[in-house]
């Protein structure tokens, strides 16, 4: 009886999991399929899932019309640059919050997180004006700075959580053994927290890669990453669904591959310390 019940609930859970996964994945699948259709097939009133003439012409067209690799390189530089610069600031910040706590540390952490709750459009004008005055509009360095600032609260929070899992006694032992702050951080703390640091880096690369609001506003041509490249296919003259889909696929594939290969690391990092 009990075994029957377990099997039944297993079946229900499996079906539910597949349904939810299907719902999440379907738009991505539809985009991929559309990218292989002709424009007329893409806007057809009775869309077909698989039974159509598959074509690669959208990819050829997109590649010939826009400098894909320039956008790709911009995305790489901006997302990696912002994540590495962010780590450089977030590691010492998280270290002090985790190991040299004061009465106000908790408030400071909450305040940092609260900045993520502010709608970005609220600071649009001041940031735009600052970028204009400092000559940062449409530059990679400008976007690296803005992405770093946007994701810094998340990075500090993630690293703070990982660092809190490391017993203070290990760092105290290092101090007794004669390690200064530099050795304590580089030789003891960072190697132990490596899974957490790696997943913080990966998650922030993904967040920065997918960020569209600021990239569309602060870039034009030179520093435009792949998000701006996708948006260029939705123009006032009309939407080119098939080409838009092809551009989208080309923009997400690199990050999807990165995500796929680092899945294990990401899951381990995100559940770091959940099981002692």
Partner 1 sequence: MGSITLKQVTKSFGDVNVIKPLDLEIRDGEFIVFVGPSGCGKSTLLRMIAGLEDTTSGTIEIDNQDATDMPPAQRGLAMVFQSYALYPHMSVRNNIAFPLKQAKVEPAIIEQKIEKAAKMLNLTDYLDRKPGQLSGGQRQRVAIGRAIVRQPSAFLFDEPLSNLDASLRVNMRLEISELHKSLDTTMIYVTHDQVEAMTMADRIAVFNGGIIEQVGTPLELYQKPVNQFVAGFIGSPKMNFISVDAKAGDPTCSLGVRPEHFKITEEEGLWTGRVGVIEHLGSETFLHVHVDGVGTLTVKADGDCKVAYGDIIHLAAAEEKIMYFDKDGVTIPELSWGEEHPSSAA
Using rule CB under 8 A, residue 175 touches partner 1:
yes
Closest CA to 152 of 84, 217, 233, 98: 84
Task: Please state, in angstroms and as integers, the Cα–Cα distance from residue 17 to each residue in 14, 23, 27, 48, following that order.
Answer: 5, 10, 17, 26
Rule CB under 8 A: is residue 102 a binding residue for partner 1? no
Identified binder of partner 1 from the candidate list 113, 170, 221, 239, rule CB under 8 A:
170
First and final C-alpha spacing in the chain: 35
From start to end of 138-255, where are the E strands?
234-235, 238-239
- The reply on whether position 169 binds partner 1 by CB under 8 A is yes
CA 154/CA 200 separation, integer angstroms:
9
Should residue 101 be labelled a site residue for partner 1 when binding is judged by CB under 8 A?
no
Give the interface segment with partner 1, choosing from 21-29, 66-74, 130-138, 187-195 (CB under 8 A): 187-195
Closest separation in Å from C-beta 264 to partner 1 = 19
Distance of closest approach, residue 51 Cβ to partner 1, in angstroms: 55
Where do runs of H (alpha helix) occur along 165-193? 168-176, 181-183, 190-192
Q: What is d(CA 57, CA 150) in angstroms, rounded to the nearest whole number?
A: 38
Asked whether 142 and 215 are in contact (CB, 8 A), the reply is no
Quick one: which segment of 62-70, 83-91, 180-188, 222-230 binds partner 1 (CB under 8 A)?
A: 180-188
Cβ 92 to partner 1, closest distance in Å? 20
Instruction: Select from 25, 35, 33 the least CA-distant residue to 49.
Output: 33
Shortest separation between residue 83's beta carbon and partner 1, angstroms: 23
CA–CA dist 210, 255 (Å, integer): 9
Residue closer to partner 1 by CB (options 133, 169) is: 169
Of the pair 181, 216, the CB lying nearest partner 1 is at 181
Q: Which residue in the set 191, 237, 238, 274 belongs to the binding site for partner 1 (CB under 8 A)? A: 191
Q: How far is the CB of 200 from partner 1 (least distance, A)?
A: 18
183 binds partner 1 (CB under 8 A): yes
Q: How far is the CB of 190 from partner 1 (least distance, A)?
A: 10
Question: Do 58 and 35 meet the contact criterion of CB atoms below 8 Å apart?
Answer: yes
Query: Rule CB under 8 A: which residues touch partner 1?
Result: 167, 169-170, 172-179, 183, 187-188, 191-192, 194
């Amino acid at each position: 009886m009990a075994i029957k019940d377990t099997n039944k609930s297993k079946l229900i859970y499996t079906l539910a999991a597949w349904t939810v996964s299907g719902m999440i994945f379907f738009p991505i699948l539809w985009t991929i399929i559309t990218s292989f259709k002709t424009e007329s097939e893409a806007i057809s009133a009775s869309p077909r899932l698989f039974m159509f003439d598959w074509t690669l012409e959208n990819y050829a067209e997109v590649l010939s019309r826009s400098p894909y690799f320039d956008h790709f390189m911009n995305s790489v530089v901006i997302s990696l640059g912002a994540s590495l610069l962010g780590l450089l600031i977030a590691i010492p910040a998280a270290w002090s919050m985790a190991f040299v706590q004061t009465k106000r540390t908790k408030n400071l952490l909450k305040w940092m997180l609260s900045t993520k709750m502010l709608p970005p459009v609220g600071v649009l004008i001041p940031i735009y004006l600052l970028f204009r005055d400092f000559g940062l509009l449409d530059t990679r360095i400008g976007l690296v700075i803005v992405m770093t600032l946007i994701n810094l609260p998340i990075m500090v929070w993630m690293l703070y959580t990982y660092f809190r899992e490391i017993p203070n006694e290990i760092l105290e032992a290092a101090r007794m053994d004669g390690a200064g702050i530099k050795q304590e951080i580089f030789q003891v703390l960072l190697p132990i927290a490596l899974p957490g640091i790696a997943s913080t880096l990966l998650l922030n690369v993904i967040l920065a890669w997918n960020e569209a609001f600021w990239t569309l506003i602060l870039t034009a041509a030179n520093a435009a990453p792949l998000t701006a490249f996708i948006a260029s296919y939705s123009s006032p003259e009309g939407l080119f669904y098939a080409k838009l889909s092809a551009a989208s696929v080309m923009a997400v594939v690199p990050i999807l591959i990165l995500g796929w290969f680092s899945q294990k690391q990401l899951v381990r990092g995100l559940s770091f310390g959940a099981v002692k």
